[in-house]
């Protein structure tokens, strides 16, 4: 009997070990695998889908490497480097950028990269034929000529590129802006304008789908990236194999398999067992629990992830600035950092990620319950008297799916607010409902938000995204903040060609945001990964996706 | 007679499905969020919003949308009458193909779990019933109460920790096959069958190995109520007149027990049928713990994403399977119980 057990156990162990990745193959465990690979498609807003896009497709430009922090290389946001574009020139008089494209670049399908691929990519973006036209959106944000709202009308000519983006020769493309705007190069680094392989895309087009959305949603995203798609089962696994002809050099990891493992505790256990090489999406508690485990490295950086409290200006009593200030002094920032993030966060001192060019540390809110009570009295609610009629407004909403991370934090906030007399309650709601109320209806009165990361790395973009009035060009002013002076200043900064003057204006804007407590910035938390000791070379990008081609694998 | 009964039940099933389709179509539109917001994300300008709504067909009237879903306007899009469940708003894939991928995973899991639970529960339940009040019966009672009252995800996580992480007997909870193994070309969608069709016994055993823990977890939970049901029905059957008569005339104990078991099986089969229907979506926690992309996970994802076509498709398919299972049970019931005639 004993021998039978022994044989059985050995066989089972052998089967278990059979699953381990070999030296140059890596296994990554994630919350999900791409649900689509189309940045103009229905899954563009999902981080796991963005991860798939940046693995297969390449941008025209990128950021140079900057400093290394905790073993992770950060980008130098002040220095752009060529990717598929080799070099570029800007003519201020005509607002025209001339990009010299890299020669000799090929893709997985065998196509050779040239200007036609760039023209195709922008033409596809301007067709606004996908479910979520992100390519158009980014082009519009960068003021590329002709990428205005008119493309959504019935006039087919409005969807043509015209003279806004022109092929000069096979390896030269010109992009014309409609007005001065510093965001052109930053948006070209973003996943929503990665370059498609025109040849393969057109080969998979149909009469009913001339821009191959179905193909990219469900089959492949053909481009000129470091990896080729080997297999893809949505909701289960995606496997990439390295492209030996990648123009920046063949990646070290020859095969990357990303497996969907919904339970974060299982991702952790499998990493600890040595069968997985890298895991993402653990809770701060879980990252903390394996920080000292032999053979496992936990690395993280303060990038652009943060948590703030959202108070809607259109909902009483949040239109009362003294009440907003009272709340800013009632929040125990250090306790949130300690209990919610296990020390892997810092107090957020502004309204823009502190790593972004143009950030100003203007929001120096401190935890002081006595000051909070004084301000509450000045707001007309001494000890919270009178606030009971706003019970619905004080329901603190947060994304229910993030309960394991946000649960401890919202409980700390609720307790602290009640301590000064503010009758906060908790209101977990599904992600989609949260998004609907935040982005479309804009009627969330009071909420905790940890998912706003301006992917355009620029303080001006962040201001436009969140704080400018919608009628003046604001994109997602979720708290309905309206300030004519700020709108005017931003309009000036948007087209200001002198960077020093632009930064000074943006600094004043950030001071105004802090004075009005437009958001209540709480913490910037570290973006973290846990991986096997054999992996090095991790770099951080503003979209928080890993570039597998960066990874070095020790034998 | 039997054919007429099956035909009648099938027709009633279609009417039930049609009513369900209509009810679900309107009920999910009462969900408290607008699915368009998920698409537009930060790009929520009125133009982009309108574009996304048009893509989803939400710019049409509710009855137009219903007509398209039913397949009354095939020139706009294929619908139920054309055998199409629509296109997922969350992934852009066909709902039918997604369900074809996810459903076999769950069917395979719960069918094996039920077979295992059944094989364990019948002798254990009989043992308890044949020894009422004795130590074995008390032990079985405690086990059935214990197994049936524990959350399956907790047992799942515990089993992963003990049998995978500590003992190394079970494979990593990473789905149906090791991530580094190429799955066979899907033919039926059932991994065990497809590996055999592909003539790859090594992958068959690997799939079986990966199913071991989730099946044991689910069978452990399911065996609780089934044992209890078998035991109670056996006790009742053993006290019935025909068993007392059989004992009096001196029939062998084994034969009497067989008679009693046959009488006890009717209600037990009903319970198993109900549990099977429930488990089609109720196995979601075990699927999640063991990273098995089953229909339960698909349903949850669809609800959280307010993916109307996917929700409608899942409800329709699960209901259809439940109706088929209930029909099959009625037929089995008739075969077991000679008093039932159609």
Sorted by where each begins, the domain ranges of chain A are: 34-223+541-547, 306-525
Residues in chain A with CB shorter than 8 Å from the CB of B179 are: 19, 21, 27, 237, 257, 259
Nearest CA to CA, how far is B307 from chain A (Å)?
10
- In this prediction, the answer to ipTM > 0.90 reads no
Region B227-250: mean pLDDT is: 88
Chain A residues touching residue B32 (CB < 8 angstroms) = 433
Question: Could you name the CATH architecture of A34-223+541-547?
Answer: Alpha-Beta Complex (3.90)
Taking the Cβ of residue B175 and every Cβ of chain A, the question of whether any pair is shorter than 8 Å is answered with yes
Please state the length of chain A. 555
pLDDT at A3: 44
The answer to whether A34-223+541-547 and A306-525 have equal CATH topology is no
Answer yes or no: are the C-beta atoms of B280 and B106 closer than 8 Å: yes
On the 0-12 / 13-18 / 19+ scale of CB atoms within 10 A, A186 is buried
Could you tell me the residue ranges of all domains in chain B?
A: 21-82, 99-336
Q: What is the DSSP string of A155-207?
A: -GGGGS-TTSEEEEETTEEEEEBSS--TTHHHHHTSGGGPBP-HHHHHHT--S
pLDDT of residue A554: 85
The C-alpha atoms of residue B129 and residue A31 are separated, in whole angstroms, by 47
Instruction: Say if B261 is an interface residue toward chain A (CB within 8 Å).
Output: no
Residues of chain A with pLDDT under 70: 1-23, 555
For chains A and B, CB pairs below 8 A equal: 200
Write the residue in B38, B55, B181 that is nearest to A45 by C-beta: B38
Q: How far apart are CA B101 and CA B279, in angstroms?
A: 18
Residues 6+ apart with CB under 8 A from A201: A120, A124, A211, A212, A215, A216, A222
**CA A348, A351, A353: angle at the middle one, nearest 5?**
65
pLDDT at A347: 95
Predicted confidence at residue A17, as pLDDT, reads: 39
Measured in angstroms, the CA of B124 and the nearest CA of chain A are apart by 24
- In the stretch 459-518 of chain A, residues with CB closer than 8 A to chain B read 465, 475-476
pLDDT score of A215: 95
Determine contact: B154 vs chain A, CB below 8 A.
no
Chain A, 28-87: which have a CB under 8 Å from a chain B CB?
29, 35-36, 38, 41-45
- Given CB atoms, is A275 within the 8 Å cutoff of chain B? yes
**CB–CB contact A234 B91 (8 Å):** yes
Portion 183-222 of B in contact with A at CB < 8 A = 183, 205-206, 209
> Which DSSP helix (H) or strand (E) runs through B260?
helix B253-282
The H or E element containing residue A74 is strand A72-82
Q: How far is CA B255 from CA A79, B47, B129, B247, B250, in A?
A: 87, 77, 15, 10, 10
Best CA proximity match to A338, nearest among A277, A269, A412: A412
* CA separation for the pair B256, B235 (Å, rounded): 12
- Chain A touched by B30 (CB under 8 Å): no
Q: What is the mean pLDDT of residues B38-48?
A: 71
Residues near B138 by Cβ (< 8 Å), separated by ≥ 6?
A: none
CA–CA dist A379, A387 (Å, integer): 11
pLDDT for residue A11: 41
Return all residues near A507 (Cβ < 8 A) that are at least 6 apart: A358, A360, A362
- Dist. CA A449–CA A406, nearest whole Å: 9
> What homologous superfamily does CATH list for A306-525?
Dipeptide-binding Protein; Domain 3 (3.10.105.10)
Beta strands at A255-260 and A237-242: parallel, antiparallel or unpaired: antiparallel
Residue A265 to residue A283: CA distance in whole angstroms? 9
- B43 lies within 8 A of chain A by CB: yes
CB contact under 8 A, B92 and A265: no
Overall residue count recorded for chain B in this entry: 342
Dist. CA B256–CA B236, nearest whole Å: 13
**Contact present, A242 and A60 (Cβ < 8 Å):** no
Write out chain B residues lying below 8 Å of A233, CB-based: 101, 183, 293
Beta-carbon separation of B51 and A430 below 8 A = no
Inter-residue contact A71 to A297 (CB < 8 Å): yes
CATH topology of domain B99-336: MetI-like fold (1.10.3720)
| CA–CA dist A327, A102 (Å, integer) | 53
| Per-residue confidence band for B204, with pLDDT thresholds at 50, 70 and 90 | very high
Chain B partners of A127 at a C-beta cutoff of 8 Å?
none
Report whether pLDDT(B51) > 60: yes
DSSP notation for A124-140: HHHTT-SSS-HHHHHHH
Contacts of B299 in chain A (CB under 8 A): none
Interface contact B43-A137, CB threshold 8 A: yes
Please report, rounded to a whole number, the percentage of residues in chain B having pLDDT higher than 70: 98
Q: For residue B237, is pLDDT > 90?
A: no
């Amino acid at each position: 009997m004993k021998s039978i057990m022994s044989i059985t156990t050995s066989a089972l162990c052998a089967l278990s070990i059979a699953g381990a990745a070999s030296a140059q193959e890596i296994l990554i465990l994630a919350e999900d695998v791409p649900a689509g690979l189309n940045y103009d498609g229905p899954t563009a807003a999902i981080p796991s889908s963005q991860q798939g896009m940046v693995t297969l497709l390449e941008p025209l430009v990128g950021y140079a490497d900057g400093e290394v922090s905790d073993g992770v290389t950060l980008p130098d946001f002040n220095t752009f480097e060529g990717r598929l574009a080799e070099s570029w020139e800007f003519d201020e008089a005509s607002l025209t950028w001339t990009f010299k494209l890299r020669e000799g670049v090929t893709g997985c399908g065998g196509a050779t990269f040239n200007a036609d691929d760039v023209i195709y990519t922008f033409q596809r973006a301007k067709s606004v034929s996908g479910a979520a036209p992100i390519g158009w959106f980014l082009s519009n944000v960068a003021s590329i000529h002709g990428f205005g709202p008119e493309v959504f009308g019935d006039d087919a000519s409005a969807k043509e590129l015209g003279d806004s983006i022109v092929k000069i020769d096979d390896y030269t493309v010109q992009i014309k802006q409609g007005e001065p705007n510093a965001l052109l190069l930053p948006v070209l680094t973003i996943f929503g304008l990665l370059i498609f392989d025109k040849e393969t895309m057109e080969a998979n087009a149909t009469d009913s789908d001339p821009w191959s959305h179905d193909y990219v949603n469900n089959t492949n995203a053909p481009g000129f990236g470091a990896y080729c798609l080997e297999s893809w089962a949505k909701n289960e696994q995606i496997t990439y194999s390295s492209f030996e002809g990648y123009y920046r050099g063949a990646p070290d990891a020859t095969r990357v398999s990303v497996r969907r493992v919904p339970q974060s505790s299982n991702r952790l256990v499998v990493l600890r067992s040595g069968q997985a090489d890298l895991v993402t999406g653990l809770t701060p508690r879980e990252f903390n629990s394996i920080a000292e485990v032999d053979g496992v490295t936990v690395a993280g950086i303060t990038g652009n992830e943060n948590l703030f409290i959202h108070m809607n200006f259109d909902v009483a009593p949040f239109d009362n600035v003294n009440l907003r200030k009272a709340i800013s002094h009632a929040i125990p920032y250090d306790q949130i950092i300690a209990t919610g993030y296990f020390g892997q966060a810092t107090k957020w001192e502004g309204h823009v990620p502190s790593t972004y060019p143009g950030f100003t540390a203007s929001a120096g809110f401190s935890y002081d319950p006595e000051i909070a009570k004084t301000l509450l009295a000045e707001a007309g609610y001494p000890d919270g008297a009178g606030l009971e009629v706003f019970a619905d407004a004080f329901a603190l909403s947060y994304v229910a799916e993030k309960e394991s991370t946000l649960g401890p934090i919202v409980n700390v906030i609720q307790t602290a607010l009640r301590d000064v007399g503010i009758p906060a309650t908790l209101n977990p709601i599904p992600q989609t409902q949260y998004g609907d109320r935040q982005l479309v209806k804009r009627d969330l009165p009071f909420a905790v938000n940890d998912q706003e990361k301006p992917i355009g790395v620029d303080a001006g973009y962040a201001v436009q995204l969140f704080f400018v009035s919608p009628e003046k060009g604001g994109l997602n002013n979720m708290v309905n903040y309206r300030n004519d002076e700020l709108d005017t200043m931003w309009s000036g900064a948007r087209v200001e060609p002198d960077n020093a003057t632009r930064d000074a204006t943006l600094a004043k804007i950030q001071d105004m945001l802090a004075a009005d407590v437009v958001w209540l910035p709480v913490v910037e938390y570290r973006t973290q990964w846990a991986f096997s000791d054999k992996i090095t070379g991790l770099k951080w990008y503003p979209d928080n996706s890993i570039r597998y081609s960066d990874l070095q694998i020790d034998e | 007679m039997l054919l007429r009964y099956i035909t009648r039940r099938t027709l009633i099933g279609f009417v039930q499905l049609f009513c369900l389709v209509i009810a679900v179509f309107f009920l999910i539109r009462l969900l408290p969020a607008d699915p368009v917001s998920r698409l537009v994300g930060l790009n929520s300008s009125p133009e982009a919003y309108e574009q996304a709504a048009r893509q989803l067909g939400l710019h049409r009237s509710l009855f137009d949308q219903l007509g398209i879903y039913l397949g009354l306007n095939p020139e706009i899009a294929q619908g139920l009458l054309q055998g199409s469940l629509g296109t997922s708003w969350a992934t852009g894939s066909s709902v039918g193909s997604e369900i074809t991928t996810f459903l076999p995973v769950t069917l395979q899991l719960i069918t094996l779990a039920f077979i295992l639970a059944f094989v364990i529960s019948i002798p254990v339940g009989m043992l308890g019933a044949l020894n009422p009040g004795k130590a074995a019966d008390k032990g079985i009672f405690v086990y059935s109460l214990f197994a049936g009252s524990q959350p399956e995800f907790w047992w799942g996580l515990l089993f992963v920790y003990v049998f995978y992480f500590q003992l190394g007997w079970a494979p990593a909870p990473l789905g149906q096959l090791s991530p580094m193994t190429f799955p066979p070309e899907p033919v039926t969608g059932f991994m065990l069958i497809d590996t055999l069709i592909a003539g790859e016994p090594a992958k068959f055993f690997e799939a079986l190995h990966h199913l071991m823990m989730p099946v044991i977890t689910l069978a452990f939970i399911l065996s609780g109520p089934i044992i209890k049901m078998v035991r109670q029905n056996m006790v009742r059957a053993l006290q019935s007149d025909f068993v007392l008569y059989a004992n009096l005339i001196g029939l062998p104990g084994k034969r009497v027990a067989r008679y009693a078991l046959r009488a006890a099986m009717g209600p037990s089969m009903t319970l198993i049928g109900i549990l099977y229907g429930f488990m089609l979506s109720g196995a979601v926690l075990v699927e999640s713990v063991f990273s098995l992309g089953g229909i339960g996970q698909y349903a949850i994802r669809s609800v959280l994403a307010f993916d109307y076509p996917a929700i409608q498709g899942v409800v329709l398919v699960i209901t259809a399977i439940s109706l088929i299972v209930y029909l099959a049970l009625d037929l089995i019931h008739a075969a077991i119980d000679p008093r039932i005639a159609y």
